Structure 1
Amino acid sequence: MTLLDEFVGWYFAEHPVRAALLGADGYDRTLGDFSEAGFTARERAAERWLERLSAEPAATVEDEIDRDLVTSQLRGTVASARWPEWRRDPAPYLGAIFGSLFTPFQQRLKPEAELVEAAVARLAEVPDVLAACRENLDPDLAAGLLVTRGLDQARTARRFLTETVPGEVADPVLRARLAAAAEPAAAAFDAFVTFLDGFRAGGTWRMGEELYSTLLREREMLGYGAAELHEKGLRAWDEIDARMREVAGRLGDGAWGEDWRAAMESLMDDHPETLEAMRAEYEAETLRARDFVRDRGLVTFPEGEECHVLPSPEFQRPILAVANYLAPPPLSASRTGVFFVPFTPDGSTPEQVRQRLRTNSRAQMPSIAVHETYPGHHWHLAWLAANPRKVRKIFRTPYFLEGWALYVEGVLHEQGYFDTPATELAHLDCRIFRAARIVVDTALHCGDMTIEEAETFMATKASLSPGTAKGEVSRYCAWPTQAPSYLTGALEIQRIREDFSGDLRKFHDQIAGSGGLPLGLARRAVIPAG
């Protein structure tokens, strides 16, 4: 057994929910240890693993990339321990519960009876996980915004546990068993909602420039920090703005001149009439994108891949206002993924629903479907699952994953997929939105922008409704460094492509098949040294 194999065994044992969702056997009947002792023990162990692996020699370039991938993740873990999420935010606890109970029924890797038994075992641990959250949240460190996000999600738990999850089970006896097992967990959530509702948090969600820059350099292996990234975002916004003004001038017989915001506002009025109609149109667009990519020979399709297009799950709706994707478990034989269309939470007003539909207009759907499905997230994650190197399937960075999905939007623009001024402008709007994310995320966490200023920026510098902008900014506060990953990664992948010797299909297959590597490692994986 190699040292990396030993590390993976430790990692899976300490993170059983993630192990199971990756498709590893033997980890699906526990949520893991969420006690203070468990978190601190993992933090100390990460330091030891980093020291051991950093000293480990590599026999080949591929072995070196594997080692450096794992050590980059560990450097991020060690750095983040200075600002422990498990003391500040209910998300680590709630994410494990919701994801572990919902995702297996979406993936269907095992017979229904086994899925139910695993869910029953995890449900039994829910009260202890919530109790650990109550014990670990520190009023001096926890941020009110993060606690409110957790509260909104926790309020969906009773229905999710007692109705949504059992509703995934066809066998009536098994369904009844699961519903019965869910009741104590739901009761624990009822008490947890009361706890969060009364919790008075005095901490901040702002990460600060020092840690933010450390994560960019150490975990993401970028050669710059927060200030430099902020400037890159501003320059990118200006460049895309100029392109959008030119395209806007070709719309509507020049009715909007160069005012691309006014043009986008008009285009957004052309949207599906209902949430279900939106889902159906996304499904049709997904099939069109697949056919286009196949006909142009832009990538090699993995055998057996399939992408379903479904409404976003109820527990995600209060905290996520945009489309997202659930990948096939890379350690399994499955190549079936799910494109989740962003439905509004239950109880949303007609105006809130209308605004959600407007930000998924018909002009915008082609770019969003390409990003989430072909040749974006779905193709990439189904393709990399064939990589024989195990750690490449386990550890991935959004700076490659999200960068890839935005990069291929640009490729399809080059190939003529966005074949009208309306869809071209919407494509560029998706891109300028990602430039605005860089500006806002860095400014928020470095203390240079308030939440209100960030919401205004996103609503005026990109075509977001005020409600969607509010949801976006809340996400940035809760998930520092993630929002800049899209455009940052896309630009870095484009630069690697410019230095690559070979045709487009070969480049795509090789770099996407190498994993979801930090960008410096991705370059090393496809361009020989020297």
Structure 2
Amino acid sequence: MDEFLKWYFSDRPVVAASLGADGYDHTLGDFIASAWQAREREQVLWLDRLAAAEAPTLDDAIDRDLVLSQLRGSIALASWPEWRRDPSVYLGAVFASMYTPFQRRLKPEPELVASALSRLAEVPGVLAACRANLDPDLAAPLLVQRGLGQARTGRNFLTRTIPSMVEDEQLRAKLAAAAEPAAAAFDELVTFLDGFECGGTWRMGERLYSTLLRERELLGYGAAELHEKGKAAWAELDARMREVALQVNGTQDWRAAMEHLMDDHPPTLADMRAEYEAETLRARDFVRERDLVTFADGEECYVLPSAEYTRPVLSVAHYLSPPPLSSSRTGVFFVPYTPDDFTPEQVRQRLRTNSRAQMPSIAVHEAYPGHHWHLSYMAGNPRTVRKVFRTPYFTEGWALYVEKMLHEQGYFDTPATELAHLDCRIFRAARIVVDTALHCEDMSIEEAETFMATKASLSPGTAQGEVNRYCAWPTQAPSYLTGAIEIERIRASFQGTLKEFHDRIAGSGGLPLGLAEQAALA
């Protein structure tokens, strides 16, 4: 396993550095076509080698099977090569590698700047590889347009945003000057993408989608069954929401009740951030008072505006975990700010989808005892591979599971906050229906946007951003409710206290659900 991780890190230095592994923060890695092809060949060899390896203990077997699930997923995706289809593969590596180190500040500033200078020098080569590798027969216009939106933020991001995070004046000036060639490369990529004509599809197809569910996520079913599970969950939640809506606006029309609740929102983006911070602290106190989990020593969660480069492609709150291979236990809950070019009405709609009734559920999901608690606590797991590989079917499933668990504990104690909690859950049921239908060619983008705007309490603009994300990230959107339901099922078989269950299953990592069940019930 140590040999495998050494290979994995050396081939993916941006990932390695983001995890906190030493020695990888000076390079972006190799993005030319031959490097991608070599990785595809080498992972087949690793699959054969690890599949034949004996596992003396249950923990060893879980480690091995975790890596095998990741390898099988990657090998299946070789038939759907993102590096030929999607500019974000290249842009994401640049943006994350430049922003995250300054956000975390785990090393002295001169070292951070030195690493950034080294990576900046490689940006033109990475973006040149993007232009060379994108295949007009495979790349989809939708994905290229997403990439174009991100690429347009590149110049300002490199020449202003990143230097502004440097406190030393001389180092700041040095970084800004060195950023110019990289910024020019972004300008060149913007021109390229703006004129790039392509005719590929973003639809993954049922066969590959189901393969990923079964072999990477270790679920016992494929896309069609998952679709039906989403429809059944939506219907069940709809019935309960009709009952709660009666207490909110006197009717069973929960959409109208949510529209009413969404009118009570923070007046500005800055106010939204401040109110989320207060709600995050309230959730932490509630969890600690009821002794629902064990907290990691030194954990801390900052609540900050979302990074500029994420705003064109992410319309919801999200989280940056502490690097698990480091000693840090500090994470960031990013509040979903809008791009600078949004109209006042678009900003208002974003604020409405972060209303005061919805904030408790979102803070629980992103921070306590959701993502931040989970990922800061599991960083203490002694098994390295558990810190490197995790699946959204556990991590997102966990964050949605704890929303319901805290409701059971009395956290959402008004009809308004209960309805908003249920709305967060029915939104995830709608995601299952839409994501499976989109990628199995049963629903158009327009139909999906209408579904999300009418079957969940999303504004048309937010629904559009959500569907755009599903098209670009197949299988991720169903992970929330699917994982939550599976964790609830495992809990029903656990012999012990609620705190013991939470510490055991969440502390074991972010495992595919079949392996998480083994870890929890062993």
Give the TM-score of the pair, scaled to structure 1.
0.98
How far apart in 2 are the matches of 1:376 and 1:83?
Answer: 32
Look up the equivalent residue of 1:517 and give its one-letter code: L
Look up the equivalent residue of 1:402 and give its one-letter code: E
Look up the equivalent residue of 1:88 and give its one-letter code: R
SS of equivalent to 2:247 = coil
SS of equivalent to 2:264 = coil
How far apart in 1 are the matches of 2:427 and 2:376?
Answer: 27
Over residues 202-224 of structure 1, what are the superposed CA-to-partner deviations in whole Å (9 max), with x where a residue is unaligned?
A: 00000000000000000000000
Equivalences for residues 89-488 of structure 1 within 5 A: 89-252=86-249, 254=250, 257-488=251-482
SS of equivalent to 1:251 = helix
Residue 54 of structure 2, aligned match among 31, 39, 57: 57
How far apart in 2 are the matches of 1:452 and 1:371?
Answer: 29
How far apart in 1 are the matches of 2:362 and 2:109?
Answer: 33
The aligned counterpart of 1:25 is 22
**How much does 1:250 deviate?**
1.0
The aligned counterpart of 1:38 is 35
Look up the equivalent residue of 1:276 and give its one-letter code: A
How far apart in 1 are the matches of 2:174 and 2:432?
Answer: 47
**How much does 1:349 deviate?**
0.2
**How much does 1:145 deviate?**
0.2
| Shift >3 Å, 4+ stretches | none
Query: Quick check: 1:505 aligned with 2:502?
Result: no
**How much does 1:330 deviate?**
0.2
**How much does 1:347 deviate?**
1.1
Over residues 349-403 of structure 1, what are the superposed CA-to-partner deviations in whole Å (9 max), with x where a residue is unaligned?
A: 0000000000000000000000000000000000000000000000000000000
Look up the equivalent residue of 2:47 and give its one-letter code: L
How far apart in 1 are the matches of 2:41 and 2:174?
Answer: 40
SS of equivalent to 2:315 = coil
How far apart in 1 are the matches of 2:178 and 2:76?
Answer: 39
Look up the equivalent residue of 1:412 and give its one-letter code: L
How far apart in 1 are the matches of 2:449 and 2:490?
Answer: 34
Residue 489 of structure 1, aligned match among 479, 483, 488: 483
How far apart in 2 are the matches of 1:523 and 1:370?
Answer: 23
The aligned counterpart of 1:525 is 519
**How much does 1:251 deviate?**
1.3
SS of equivalent to 1:386 = coil
How far apart in 1 are the matches of 2:484 and 2:176?
Answer: 45
How far apart in 2 are the matches of 1:131 and 1:159?
Answer: 19
SS of equivalent to 1:339 = strand
Unaligned runs of 5+ in 1: none
CA RMSD after TM alignment: 0.4
**How much does 1:91 deviate?**
1.0
The aligned counterpart of 1:88 is 85
SS of equivalent to 1:249 = helix
SS of equivalent to 2:303 = strand
Over residues 59-83 of structure 1, what are the superposed CA-to-partner deviations in whole Å (9 max), with x where a residue is unaligned?
A: 0000000000000000000000001
How far apart in 2 are the matches of 1:469 and 1:69?
Answer: 34
Query: Quick check: 1:14 aligned with 2:8?
Result: no
**How much does 1:441 deviate?**
0.1
Look up the equivalent residue of 1:437 and give its one-letter code: R
In the comparison of the two structures, how many residue pairs are matched? 522
Look up the equivalent residue of 1:361 and give its one-letter code: S
Look up the equivalent residue of 2:235 and give its one-letter code: D
Over residues 231-265 of structure 1, what are the superposed CA-to-partner deviations in whole Å (9 max), with x where a residue is unaligned?
A: 0000000000001000001113x1xx100000000
Look up the equivalent residue of 1:266 and give its one-letter code: H
How far apart in 2 are the matches of 1:60 and 1:8?
Answer: 20
**How much does 1:201 deviate?**
1.2
How far apart in 1 are the matches of 2:180 and 2:62?
Answer: 47
Over residues 182-203 of structure 1, what are the superposed CA-to-partner deviations in whole Å (9 max), with x where a residue is unaligned?
A: 0000001001100000001100
How far apart in 2 are the matches of 1:250 and 1:466?
Answer: 26
How far apart in 2 are the matches of 1:289 and 1:7?
Answer: 39
SS of equivalent to 2:332 = strand
How far apart in 1 are the matches of 2:520 and 2:166?
Answer: 45
